[in-house]
Amino acid sequence: MHRILIVEDSPTMRSLLSASLEEMPLPTKIFEAENGFEALRFLPREEFDLVVTDINMPDINGLELVSFIKKNERYASLPLVIVSTEGSDRDREKGMALGADAYLVKPVDPESLREVVADLLTARSAPSAEG
Amino acid sequence: MAARRSKRKGAQSSDPPSSKTSASDGAAAPNDSDKREFLSEAGEILESMLGDLSELREQDRASTEVDPDLINRIFRSAHSFKGLAGMFELDEISELSHRLEDILDGLRLGKISLDSPAVALLDEGVSLLATLTAGLDVKTASSASSEGKARELADRIERVISSPVTLPGEDLDGLSLDASLLGALTEYEEHRLRESIRRGRHVVMVDAAFEILDFEEGLVRLSEAAREVGELISTLPSPGDSPESEIRFSLLVATELDAGELSGRAGFEIAQIQWVSGQTASPAPNEEASPTSEEEASPAPDRASLGSFRSVGETVRVDIRKLDELMNLVGELVIQRDAIGGVAQKLLGETQTIRIGSELAKTHKMLDRKLRELQTGVLDVRMVPLRQIFEKLSRVVRRLRRDLDKEVSLEFVGADTELDKLIVERLIDPLVHVVRNAFDHALESPSERVQAGKDPEGCIRVSAFQRGNHVVIEVRDDGRGMDADAILRKAIERGLISEKDSPSHKEILNLVCEAGLSTAESISSTSGRGVGMDIVQSNLAELGGMVDLDSTRGAGTTVTITLPITLAIIQALLVGVEEETFAIPLNSVLETLVVEPGEIGHSEGREILNLRGEPLLLRRLSDEFEIESGGRDARQFAVVLGLGEHRLGLLVDRLEGQQDTVIKPIKGPFQKFRGIAGATELGHRGAILVIDVSSIVGDAVRRREAA
Amino acid sequence: MSGLDGGIGDASDWEGIAREAALGLRGDGRVEPASVRELLVFHLDATAYALPVDCVREIVRLRELTKVPRAPSWLLGILALRGEVVEVIDLRSRLGLGASRLDRSNRVVVCRGAEDRVSGLVVDGVTEVYRASEDLLRPASGLDVTMVSEICLRDDQFVSLLDFERLLGLEDV
């Protein structure tokens, strides 16, 4: 069972992201956080296998969340997928520089999202992971 | 900079996060319920955008520095809106909101100034978005032209924005900021940082550590403190010293205060303050951080404002439909509880089963208690303070103030008064209407007012308070008042009353709520009220409420709206007329009386009762519902109904007890029920009609019967 | 599936018919070819009428209805049914054929249309669920009755297929 955390402040987007991921061929349990604070609260409580996050959120933005996750020994190996708008090339660069694994542009194509997430999840659970 | 409430949505509970297990049904394609979600979220976003835009214009006009948080907020609204529309493949809407987002992004990043012609297009753009969104539900003939206009506007915006100027960036490398911190700032946050330095503000890093499972409260307090002294540019989380139990937050703050002022400031005791620029860029002497003492907050006067800030954050957004379902469930449980009670009684009645009966009766009592608690709890969830409506009214008046040349001060009293969420949602339109009426028609222009010896600035006061089982909302203005003579003349002209009638002053004023009258143009300009009041009244009647007008020529008008506190589960009084039973909502019942035929008096063609020295207007339920009634000679019961200031004694044959009920709508082709609020189910007795107190009382009060 | 019974619904038949109507709704896995329509056939005196089985929610005996004051004559009253309160209409009267004389043999056909519109129709009796192939149906143009959408041939009888939405749609008859 793969546990995925979605961090996105727009409720409609959140439920659409959720719905897209529920369609995956892999068994998944999806958790939703409305903002960075919630994500920070959920992280210590569950063993997540992947995090999907928006960038533009109030208070704690997605980049800060990524930075926190990567700095933290416990979560550093979590695959991170950033979902955000096209306009910010700089934000995308920063996101990847901070250690995110993938960057998808909104509106997200459900198929692409599923592919990316599936790849990251299977790579993670494969015994000889890094290549 | 003043403390600002950041608009935060989010469930803040310590419960495990919401989760969904993978299901094999349902694609990610939007369906009807998604569309509803979209429309409701879209509506909210547009709502706040309009309000914020008008706020923006005001701030700009006052030529103080425009609050960057405000611009950012509008930007984020446009951004969310664009994303929303994109997911549903609403091309025109998405395209247009994309352009608007571009304008706002340019604004917040300093690439466009507020004087740019593009900014003027924002208003037009948002209005168009609203039209297009509304058109989604109902395709009208004008939808196609709106779409065309949207595309046109989008093109126009694109041309105007074309090549934005990138301001030379301040060098951020010279700051004593950790590179990793800089790396996590978004483009916008970087811009705010540069801007702050450019304006000569001091930039500080406020560091504090909290317990990982419970950091919210402390962090919120710290953020508030930061906002009070300046601009909170960024909040960066990092692992604490013991990452398993601690989490550290670094707040990047721009402020005009200096070291001395800052370190002594309330709210910062738990933090380490590090100067990033503007000072000597070296740590100033300050307090030690105490990682786990976020609980000991200073007894600062900030507490009060922090308290209200927290209550904004501690809310959950709930779909009204879910509340209704909950309410219905509780209602069904109540019916079952009563059925169990009935069985217990039966068992108690027989000697063989008396022991089991008493056990059941005990359990029933417990169930009853718990169920009442549940009922109260669920009802409580539905209760919502009127504050949100007041905020909306403020925005409405602000907009009107701009468009018309009148000065007005808007006062609110009783924002904490609570009402059922369902009622509040449906109250917004009629209330906005009433306030708008007051502004448009009742208030005179400043010069007129001065001539009349009044303050040039008019005053509209909206006050709300609870009175027993009702909530009363008063909208009072000090405008020109209503012209009773003109109204009376028009009413006679329209055949609403005859020349022989002699209505009282209030009765004349309330005529304005009659359909035949309130649409009259001439009435509205002279009477100072009236346009659409019939709709306001019918809207309120649907909620079980009523509206009442009072006015003094030249001095002002008061519109009083009375509403029941909740629509959901109510206690009802069961009454009988001939062979039928009806239910009357108990919260409108003041008392019940026994009435002998000889006690009924007459006055001006109406039956009345002398009740402790005052005449009580009577109405026979058999007359109201055209039920063949045997005797006017038998003893009857009078159920004294109260609604607002009106009293009516409803005459019935029997009183049949009380019952908890859920009022349900009557489903079917015929909907023009008069005097009936719905129906309820009473165990094996089947459906019982529930009386609509407001229309029965209203009708009786307005009725003029020939002598 | 019942055969082409043609019986005038007596108490024993009725349970079976109701069950069938319900089965039709729930979809017990049978895949109907698109060209077959399932109709619930009922009657007023000897004239047969029908409604698509999809819109029939249940069939109940006529019990005591709660009267509604100042209601039109075709609205017989209201009935509490599974947590809802539903209007019960005299079909005969609604079709302009005069008022019904009601007794225990009447049945109430409870129908649900678009947008949660529900209503109960009082009929003299319910006959059966009839599976009519498309070629047995033809449009009802030329007839005066506005609430009949099609005519269906059943054995040697004509059955008027009613349009439920139109039945409900007219507010003031």
Residue C119 has pLDDT above 70, yes or no: yes
Chain A residues within an 8 Å CB radius of B233: none
User: Looking at residue A10, which CATH number applies to its domain?
Assistant: 3.40.50.2300
Residue A94 lies in a domain: yes
Report the percentage of chain B scoring pLDDT > 90: 7
Average the pLDDT over B414-422 and give the result. Answer: 81
Residue with tokens 């933005």: A61
Residue A130 lies in a domain: no
φ/ψ region of B452 (left if φ > 0, alpha if ψ in -120 to 50, else beta) reads alpha
Residue with tokens 């409260």: B217
More confident call, B187 vs B25: B187
Question: Is there a contact between A98 and B184 if contact means CB atoms under 8 Å apart?
Answer: yes
Residues forming beta bridges with residue A28, ordered by sequence position: A2
Task: Check CB contact of B184 with chain A, cutoff 8 Å.
Answer: yes
Euclidean distance between CA atoms B245 and B213, whole angstroms: 7
Shortest Cα–Cα distance, B579 to chain C (Å): 10
More confident call, B99 vs B114: B99
Please tell me the least confidently modeled range out of A34-48, A80-94, B48-62, B293-307: B293-307
Residue C121 has pLDDT above 90, yes or no: yes
Do B387 and B416 contact (CB within 8 A), yes or no? yes
pLDDT in tens, B552-605: 888 899 999 988 776 656 788 999 998 899 999 888 898 999 998 888 888 877
Of B10, B186, B247, nearest to A38 by CB-CB distance is B10
Closest-approach residue (CA) in chain A for B246: A44
Task: Check CB contact of C173 with chain B, cutoff 8 Å.
Answer: no
Question: Is there a contact between C64 and B686 if contact means CB atoms under 8 Å apart?
Answer: yes
pLDDT in tens, B18-34: 443 333 333 344 456 66
Residue B255 has pLDDT above 80, yes or no: yes
Do B100 and B79 contact (CB within 8 A), yes or no? no
Q: Own/partner pairs for A71-79, CB < 8 Å, 24+ apart?
A: A71/B180, A71/B238, A71/B239, A72/B238, A72/B239, A72/B243, A73/B239, A73/B243, A74/B243, A74/B244, A75/A43, A75/A48, A77/A124, A78/A48, A78/A49, A78/A50, A78/A51, A79/A49, A79/A50, A79/A51, A79/A120, A79/A121, A79/A123, A79/A124
Residue B3 has pLDDT above 70, yes or no: no
Please tell me the least confidently modeled range out of B50-54, B377-381, C86-90, C140-144: C140-144
Task: Check CB contact of C89 with chain B, cutoff 8 Å.
Answer: yes
Interface of B with A in 102-141 (CB under 8 A): 102, 105
Residue with tokens 């317990």: B211
Euclidean distance between CA atoms B585 and B595, whole angstroms: 21
Task: Check CB contact of B669 with chain C, cutoff 8 Å.
Answer: yes
Q: Is residue A80 helix, strand or coil? A: strand
Chain B residues within an 8 Å CB radius of C82: none
More confident call, C29 vs B513: B513
Of B667, B673, B688, nearest to C86 by CB-CB distance is B667
pLDDT at B652: 93
Task: Check CB contact of B626 with chain C, cutoff 8 Å.
Answer: yes
pLDDT at C3: 34
Task: Check CB contact of B416 with chain C, cutoff 8 Å.
Answer: no
Q: How far does Cα B77 stand from its chain's mean position?
A: 20
Task: Check CB contact of C169 with chain B, cutoff 8 Å.
Answer: yes
Other C-beta atoms closer than 10 Å to the C-beta of C16 total 14
Per the structure block, which two tokens stand in for A34? Answer: 């409305």
Of C80, C117, C171, nearest to B687 by CB-CB distance is C80
What is the tally of structural domains in chain A?
1
pLDDT at B137: 62
Average the pLDDT over B468-485 and give the result. Answer: 85
DSSP A74: T
DSSP B440: I
Task: Check CB contact of B186 with chain A, cutoff 8 Å.
Answer: yes
More confident call, B117 vs B586: B586
Euclidean distance between CA atoms B342 and B364, whole angstroms: 10
Please tell me the least confidently modeled range out of B317-331, B585-599, B682-696, C8-22: C8-22
pLDDT band, very low/low/confident/very high, at B221 (cuts 50, 70, 90)? confident
Residue C48 has pLDDT above 50, yes or no: yes
pLDDT at B637: 92
pLDDT at B77: 86
Give the residue among A96, A60, A64 at the shortest CA–CA distance from A81.
A96
Task: Check CB contact of B690 with chain C, cutoff 8 Å.
Answer: no
Side chain identity, residue B57:
R
Q: What is the interface pTM, i.e. ipTM, of the complex?
A: 0.80
Task: Check CB contact of C69 with chain B, cutoff 8 Å.
Answer: yes
Closest-approach residue (CA) in chain A for B18: A31
Interior angle at CA B334, CA B330 and CA B339, nearest 5: 145
pLDDT in tens, B640-673: 998 777 889 999 999 988 877 777 778 888 877 8
Q: Which chains touch C (3 or more CB pairs under 8 A)?
A: B
Interface of B with A in 506-565 (CB under 8 A): none
Q: Is B369 exposed, middle or buried (CB count within 10 Å of its CB: 0-12, 13-18, 19+)? A: exposed
Q: Is residue A2 helix, strand or coil? A: strand
Question: Is there a contact between C68 and B676 if contact means CB atoms under 8 Å apart?
Answer: yes
Task: Check CB contact of B91 with chain A, cutoff 8 Å.
Answer: no
Do B202 and B216 contact (CB within 8 A), yes or no? no
Query: Which of B670, B681, B690 is the best mutation test for C, with the most CBs of C within 10 A?
Result: B670
Distance from the first to the final alpha carbon of chain B? 70
Task: Check CB contact of C119 with chain B, cutoff 8 Å.
Answer: yes
Alpha helices in B62-139 (DSSP H): 68-87, 91-108, 117-137
Average the pLDDT over B465-487 and give the result. Answer: 84
Residue A109 lies in a domain: yes
Question: Is there a contact between C87 and B672 if contact means CB atoms under 8 Å apart?
Answer: no
Q: Which chains touch A (3 or more CB pairs under 8 A)?
A: B
Please state at what angle helix B117-137 crosses helix B141-161, rounded to 10 degrees: 150
Task: Check CB contact of A45 with chain B, cutoff 8 Å.
Answer: yes
Domain residues for A43? Answer: 2-125
φ/ψ region of B688 (left if φ > 0, alpha if ψ in -120 to 50, else beta) reads beta
Q: Which segment, A41-45, B2-6, B166-170, is predicted with the most confidence on average?
A: A41-45
Residue with tokens 């005009």: B256
Q: Torsions phi, psi of B434, nearest 5?
A: -65, -45
Euclidean distance between CA atoms A108 and A120, whole angstroms: 17
DSSP C66: B
**Max CA distance (Å), chain C:** 47
Average the pLDDT over B350-356 and give the result. Answer: 87
More confident call, B2 vs B344: B344
B and C: number of Cβ contacts within 8 A = 82
Residue B702 has pLDDT above 80, yes or no: no
Euclidean distance between CA atoms B383 and B669, whole angstroms: 32
Q: Where are the domains of chain C?
A: 11-169
Q: From residue B671, how far is each of A76, C69, C110 by CA, in Å?
A: 63, 12, 18
Question: Is there a contact between A29 and B223 if contact means CB atoms under 8 Å apart?
Answer: no
Q: For the sheet with C137-139, list strands across it.
A: C125-133, C36-44, C47-52, C157-162, C148-154, C137-139
Residue A101 lies in a domain: yes
Question: Is there a contact between C68 and B665 if contact means CB atoms under 8 Å apart?
Answer: no
Residue C173 has pLDDT above 70, yes or no: no
pLDDT at A51: 95
Of A37, A91, A106, nearest to B216 by CB-CB distance is A37
Mean pLDDT of chain B: 75
Of B22, B82, B101, nearest to A24 by CB-CB distance is B22
- Tell me the domains of chain B and their CATH numbers: 32-161 (1.20.120.160), 179-294 (3.30.70), 386-564 (3.30.565.10), 569-702 (2.40.50.180)
Query: Which of C68, C74, C88 is the best mutation test for B, with the most CBs of B within 10 A?
Result: C68
Per the structure block, which two tokens stand in for B66? Answer: 């425009």
Task: Check CB contact of B670 with chain C, cutoff 8 Å.
Answer: yes
Give the residue among B559, B555, B651 at the shortest CA–CA distance from B597.
B651
Give the residue among B673, B321, B669 at the shortest CA–CA distance from C111.
B669
What is the sign of the dihedral through the CA atoms of B294, B298, B300 and B303?
positive
Residue C13 has pLDDT above 60, yes or no: no
Q: How far does Cα A54 stand from its chain's mean position?
A: 8
pLDDT at B329: 80
More confident call, B564 vs B165: B564
pLDDT at B394: 82
Please tell me the least confidently modeled range out of B204-208, B432-436, C22-26, C40-44: C22-26
Shortest Cα–Cα distance, B38 to chain C (Å): 20
Alpha helices in B453-583 (DSSP H): 484-493, 505-510, 515-518, 521-527, 533-542
Residue A131 lies in a domain: no
DSSP C84: E
pLDDT at B294: 33
Task: Check CB contact of C87 with chain B, cutoff 8 Å.
Answer: yes
pLDDT at B20: 39
pLDDT in tens, B273-301: 777 665 433 333 333 333 333 333 333 33
Whether A contacts B, i.e. 3 or more CB pairs less than 8 A apart, is yes
Q: From residue B412, how far is each of B344, B416, B430, B644 by CA, in Å?
A: 52, 10, 17, 21
Question: Is there a contact between B667 and C85 if contact means CB atoms under 8 Å apart?
Answer: yes
pLDDT at C115: 66
DSSP B442: I
Residue A43 lies in a domain: yes
Q: What is the CATH number of domain C11-169?
A: 2.40.50.180
Task: Check CB contact of B322 with chain A, cutoff 8 Å.
Answer: no
Give CA torsion, residues B178, B180, B181, B187, to 10 deg: 130
pLDDT at A126: 62
Chain B residues within an 8 Å CB radius of A41: 14, 17, 213, 215-216
Give the residue among B483, B475, B447 at the shortest CA–CA distance from B459.
B475
Task: Check CB contact of C118 with chain B, cutoff 8 Å.
Answer: yes
pLDDT at B525: 42
Contacts of A1 (CB under 8 A, 6+ apart): A27, A28, A29
Beta pairing, strands A50-54 & A80-84:
parallel
pLDDT at C142: 61
**Max CA distance (Å), chain A:** 39
Chain A residues within an 8 Å CB radius of B76: 56, 58
